[in-house]
A and B are shown apart, each in its own frame.
Chain A
Amino acid sequence: AQSVTQPDIHITVSEGASLELRCNYSYGATPYLFWYVQSPGQGLQLLLKYFSGDTLVQGIKGFEAEFKRSQSSFNLRKPSVHWSDAAEYFCALYKTSYDKVIFGPGTSLSVIP
Chain B
Amino acid sequence: GAVVSQHPSRVICKSGTSVKIECRSLDFQATTMFWYRQFPKQSLMLMATSNEGSKATYEQGVEKDKFLINHASLTLSTLTVTSAHPEDSSFYICSARAGTGHTEAFFGQGTRLTVV
In the complex, 14 of the A-B residue pairs with CB atoms within 8 angstroms, ordered by the A residue number, are A36-B107, A42-B110, A43-B93, A43-B107, A44-B44, A44-B107, A46-B104, A90-B43, A90-B44, A96-B101, A99-B49, A100-B46, A104-B43, A106-B42
Which chain B residues border A104 with CB–CB below 8 Å?
43
B43 with A43: CB separation less than 8 A: no
Q: How many residues of B contact A (CB 8 A)?
A: 25
CA distance A65 to B96 in the complex (A): 24
Main secondary structure of the interface of B (DSSP, over half): strand
- Shortest CB-to-CB span from A28 to chain B, Å, is 16
CA distance A100 to B108 in the complex (A): 17
Which B residues are closer than 8 A to A by beta carbons?
1, 4, 6, 32, 34, 41-44, 46, 49, 91, 93, 95, 100-102, 104-110, 112
CA distance A104 to B44 in the complex (A): 8
- Shortest CB-to-CB span from A63 to chain B, Å, is 15
B102 with A32: CB separation less than 8 A: yes
CA distance A104 to B38 in the complex (A): 12
